[in-house]
Amino acid sequence: MKGTIVAELTQEQRQLIEKMGIYHEQQGFPPVTGRIMGLLYVTDRLHLSFEEIVETLHISKSATSNALQLLQQMHLIEYTTYSGDRKRYFGALLENWHEEVLNKMESILGLSKLLRQANELRGDANPTMNQKVTERIEFMEFLSREVPALMYKWLQVRKG
C-alpha cells in the first residue's frame, strides 16, 4: 500500500480531477471535495492513504481532513484499515449510488414541501409568482415519484 500515485497520473487524469473539483464547487461544495472524488475515481487503486491524497493533490492536511469528513458524512467514500498498518485508506463508496439518488429525491421532496408552505404563507398577493412556484413544486413532486420507479425498472432490466 505504500508509495505515491503522483507519478502514475496522466495529464488527462489530472485535468479530469480538476474538472470534478470545479463541478463540485458549482454544486456548492469546496473544490477540494470534488478533487478528492475525482482522484478516487481516476486511480486504478481501490483505496488511497490520507498522505497519498495530500501529496497527489497538493492540498493541505486540514483541507483534506475536512473534505474527507464531509464525503464520509455524505456516504460518498469509505475508509478501511489493514492489519499492522495504522493508516486509514479511503475509497469511493461505489455500492450506494442508488441510495444517493433516492436521498436526493427525498431532499427535492422536502424542498417542494417548503415551497408549498411559502406559497400558502404568501397568500394570493402575487398569483403569477404562486403559479410559477406551484409549477416547480409539481415538477419536484413528479420527480420524487418517478425517479425511484425508474431506478427500480432499470435495476430489473439489468438483472435480466
- At 32-43, the pLDDT tens digits run 999 999 999 999
Lowest mean pLDDT among 4-18, 71-85, 115-129, 140-154: 4-18
CATH topology for 6-92 is Arc Repressor Mutant, subunit A (1.10.10)
Rounded distance between C-alpha atoms, residue 126 and residue 2, angstroms: 63
Predicted local confidence at residue 146, as pLDDT: 94
The three grid cell numbers given for residue 28, joined into one nine-digit string: 456548492
pTM: 0.74
Strand partners, 89: 49, 80
